[in-house]
Structure 1
Amino acid sequence: MKRNNLTTAVVAGIAGVAGIAGLANAVELNPDGIGEVLIYPYYTVNEGQSTLISVVNTTNIAKAVKVRFLEGHNSREVLDFNLFLSRFDVWTGAIFALADAGLPGASAGAGITTSDKSCVDPQLNTAFWGDLGDGRKYAAFLPYAYSGGSPANGGNDDTGPTGIERTREGHIELISMSDVVGDTADAVTHINGVPDDCDVAAALDVGDADLLPPTGGLFGAGAIVNTGQGTFFSYNADALDGYTIEDLFSGSESVQPSIAQASSTASTAVAYVFDDGALIQAAYNRTAGQSNTNPAIDAVSAVFTSDAIFNEYNVDSLAGSNTDWVVTFPTKRFYVDPQIIGASGSGIRPFVYRFGQVVPQRNGLGQSCTQVGVAVYDREERTPTGPQPGFSPPPPGQPPSSLCKEVNVISFLALPPGSAAPTKSGVLGSTLVTNVNPGSYTSGWARIDLNPGAERHQLRPSIDGEVFNGLPVTGFEAVNYVNRNQTPGVLANYSGLFRHRASRSCQVGDALGGPACS
């Protein structure tokens, strides 16, 4: 265990000078937003919205990138493809509701559309992509990873919803699999705005000499837009840097690589975690060649783990305001999904229950519930007397204030006593919703405690015994104001998005109050 006040770059430099080059590569959540892996915490196509995404290659090295879309209940994959970014390239796409595009026979599902020219595999001229009739290509999201009947009979049901509607909300991963050099880099380079020869990229295979371990340099952004209402919620993607020393290339037919494949050396995955200005270095065992079952996922979880998140809310009827919080657990499936951890037993810490595990009054089918604490304050330091507000109504048969999905949307609603909470959130129209009623406190801030006394959440110990308390989390607040008085007959919307703030807690050993990581 190592903790100091040096920056990652200085630590890496010292490691190289000292001859311990293995310490120079470690997973970090890059505060500058550039890295090898990008996490977009939320997409939605509900209520007439679409979600725009972009990724930028800031380097003069071409990249092979896995683009993956994950639904919000249990993060089962709904689509992926390989993207080849040329030097200094940008790729953009939009996630949309198929029915909103007026597609013949369109269902209630979602899809991705793009007019970008960058090389992809499957290629844009194949049956994988449909045509919207205006030059844009699209691919529909698919339910196969969570449907098809019982796993015992060859299906993928995970006890959650099996309808195509499940594809409408979730989050996104982009993993830089390889740097691309040689003839392949030249082939994906744009000439007069068009790649030279995408057939060369599509023919790449694992182990090709033009594929090298990735060196990062990507940044990304997302935006949830409703053109009819005039709302626009934009965010920067989380960027993991120092993710791997290995070439992770896989073909477009493969669901690999996964974010569980972090590697700092052949046998370890190391996390750099900043805690109150100090740097904690935590190493976790890994087994070369393993993918989803690799314990190296703990290194990725460590950089996201917080013991509490904080943000503001506003639900003032006079201001016409509503607030949603998106709370995404980007690594949760590696601790709860029966396809990954096995179909028996409980979840793996820091999560408690396997997805779909039936535990009376604790967890049920289509859920992996995690208790959290909720504290609400107004702008004058006041908090409700008596019990703090919890989620209303709580998930059926579950303890109060449980988050039961991989992507959760907390809707703040000032409801009259006895009123039934709506089934969609107030801002984003999310069906992955839980509700917090702040009562008479219509504006202020809140804290979500991710390591409450009622149910402890702790990441597994590192090799040297560091234990991070809480849950791996990312997300943001989305707030919308509706001004009906700006111009007679004109509805004015003002939207804003603010990333969550967080606190961290780490000690040596499982016992709370033990020696701090130092």
Structure 2
Amino acid sequence: MKKNVLALSIAAMIGGFAGAASAQTFPNTTMTAPTATDLVQSEGGAGHILVVPYFTSQNDNMSVFHVVNTDTVNGKALKVRFRGAANSDDILDFTVFLSPGDVWTGSVQGNEQGSYFLTNDKSCTLPDIRGQQVQFVTDRLMPNATAAQTKEGYIEILNMADITGASTDVYKATKHVNGVAPCTSSVLDATLNINPLDAASVTAAKTSGFETPSGKLTADWYILNVNQTTTFSGAATAIAATGGNGRGNFVLFPQDGLNTAASAANVASLTADPLLQQNIVKAVNFDFPDLSTPYLAATATPEAQASALTQAVANTGVSNQFALDTGINAKTDWVLSMPTRRYSVGADYTKDVTASDYRVFNAGVLGANSQPVFTSTNTYVAASGLICATTSSYTFWDREEQSKKNGAVISPSNLKGLDFCGEVNVLSFNDTGTSVLGATVGRTNVQVDYQNGWGAISYANALPVVGSSFIKLSNSGGLSNGFSGTYGITWPHRFAK
């Protein structure tokens, strides 16, 4: 990836991030050496990295997701991390072990304390959280954050390692027997002693049954509201490591709060997250890997990895449809999620929101134009503490390319100033009440003159935006006739590249 090498050289000259990018070589010794060279977005496909753009437990919603291991030979060790919608803070993470051909499911639901995670799946997790309501953690959220701060966000899923060899300890501990994985605690707890930066530790991990990750993961999600008989669904955004043998680095870090592997000396070589790099948030083992941890043979630094990942999903604009037809009580929300923004800019909650250094940048994360993706000129801080990204313009059309209001008016209507506040921004249409998704964390309302139509949002520099349009409608006679009268439609955004 020559463009990344050039881009990093430019970043080193212009400055703006925590020191020079630090290279990290992962020892593979007896494991299969990873030779994948590129990260490619595969919407709805299989990959090594999966992103669920949005989850919510607002307004009685339940968010459910299914992760499928389409590899029928090898098991998978996964890092699952939930990040908040405001500024992408870690609110829950754990390790999951999948059998070959396995499907793992879980849900996010709400209570008075915020969101909690629940899985009744038989696959192994570390720690063992099966059948438990695990409350999301608020330790890293902004001070005095309300429960709502954990009720919206997005999900990262990363293939840290493969599990191989029918006779190995890890394979036998995680392979389903009569529909249930043994989840041998002594074997899974032993992974807390693995250090993927140490050659001897990697060799021992190989003997126990681990291999470099080969991906082949898919995921699907749905948002269910039982009280309102409404469901939305979609596929996770998949990022595949391609080229060579299609394998990434072995990045199975211990799922604990120590820093045996994530020592202060290693942090800058393991993550592009500016808050972790500058020790504003103290890094521990469970912080790794994140999506910027070097994964390819071509990404020796976190900045190169984050740049490659950002460029894989970046676009210069999104377009989609909206429906506000009063005859069917139609309402629309657009989700605009930026799952790699955290590696370019984070919020320092020890500072006042008006302080110039509240935003902490890593200018080494670059777009395809070899320039930093997020800067002080294309972001600002809202009074709520959310970091906002600016856009250049947006345009909305009706379904006939024109509308009538006080006489004939030629469509479209052109407007400026629509910004994305929060890591996940929910754009509601002509709706100042409870919107389709009930969003409150990073919600923006836009007024359009048309009942139905489509719109396009453009930004001057490419941004890593993913998401969908969520349209809710109802048949007013449905309930009185004895059947459900509420329906949900989900359309993925179309992207301009």
Same fold (TM over 0.5): yes
Note closer, same or farther for the CA distance 1:344–1:473 as it changes in structure 2 (3 Å cut).
closer
The corresponding residue for 1:219 is 218
* SS of match in other structure, 2:173: helix
Work out the CA distance in 2 between the residues paired with 1:327 and 1:120: 30
Report the residue type matching 1:497 in the other structure: T
CA deviations over 1:415-446 (Å, ceiling 9, x no partner): 7xxxxx33x4x21111121112112x110100
Is 1:374 the counterpart of 2:373? The answer is: no
Is the 8 Å Cα contact of residues 379 and 443 (structure 1) preserved in structure 2?
A: yes
The corresponding residue for 1:350 is 373
Query: Which of 166, 178, 194 is the equivalent residue of 1:192?
Result: 178
Query: Which of 316, 324, 329 is the equivalent residue of 2:333?
Result: 324
Please state how far the C-alpha of 1:192 moved relative to its aligned partner: 1.4
Work out the CA distance in 1 between the residues paired with 2:233 and 2:183: 34
Is the 8 Å Cα contact of residues 49 and 224 (structure 1) preserved in structure 2?
A: yes
The corresponding residue for 1:444 is 453
The corresponding residue for 1:258 is 290
**Number of paired residues?**
396
* Superposition pairs of residues 481-500 of structure 1, within 5 angstroms: 481-486=473-478, 488=480, 492-500=485-493
Report the residue type matching 2:374 in the other structure: F
Is the 8 Å Cα contact of residues 394 and 457 (structure 2) preserved in structure 1?
A: yes
Work out the CA distance in 1 between the residues paired with 2:230 and 2:65: 16
The corresponding residue for 1:171 is 154
Please state how far the C-alpha of 1:387 moved relative to its aligned partner: 9.7
Greater RCO (CA < 8 Å, at least 6 residues apart) = 2
Is 1:247 the counterpart of 2:250? The answer is: yes
Please state how far the C-alpha of 1:201 moved relative to its aligned partner: 2.2
* SS of match in other structure, 1:303: helix
* SS of match in other structure, 1:337: strand
* SS of match in other structure, 1:112: strand
Structure 2: which 5+ runs fail to align?
4-32, 196-201, 257-285, 350-356, 364-371, 404-408
The corresponding residue for 1:202 is 189
Is the 8 Å Cα contact of residues 336 and 355 (structure 1) preserved in structure 2?
A: no
Report the residue type matching 1:488 in the other structure: S
CA deviations over 1:12-35 (Å, ceiling 9, x no partner): xxxxxxxxx998531111245101
* Superposition pairs of residues 105-504 of structure 1, within 5 angstroms: 107-124=112-129, 136-147=131-142, 157=143, 162-181=145-164, 182-199=168-185, 200-204=187-191, 205-206=194-195, 207=202, 208-209=205-206, 210-242=209-241, 245-253=248-256, 254-265=286-297, 268-269=298-299, 286-287=300-301, 291=302, 294-338=303-347, 348=363, 349-353=372-376, 364=383, 366-372=385-391, 373-382=393-402, 388=413, 390=415, 400-413=417-430, 421-422=432-433, 424=434, 426-431=435-440, 432-439=442-449, 441-451=450-460, 457=461, 470-486=462-478, 488=480, 492-504=485-497
Query: Which of 68, 71, 95 is the equivalent residue of 2:84?
Result: 71
Report the residue type matching 1:29 in the other structure: Q
Is the 8 Å Cα contact of residues 82 and 251 (structure 1) preserved in structure 2?
A: no
TM-score, scaled relative to structure 2: 0.74
Note closer, same or farther for the CA distance 1:304–1:485 as it changes in structure 2 (3 Å cut).
same
Is 1:27 the counterpart of 2:39? The answer is: yes
Is the 8 Å Cα contact of residues 337 and 355 (structure 1) preserved in structure 2?
A: no
* SS of match in other structure, 1:297: helix
Is the 8 Å Cα contact of residues 375 and 388 (structure 1) preserved in structure 2?
A: yes
TM-score, scaled relative to structure 1: 0.71
More helix by share: 2
The corresponding residue for 2:67 is 55
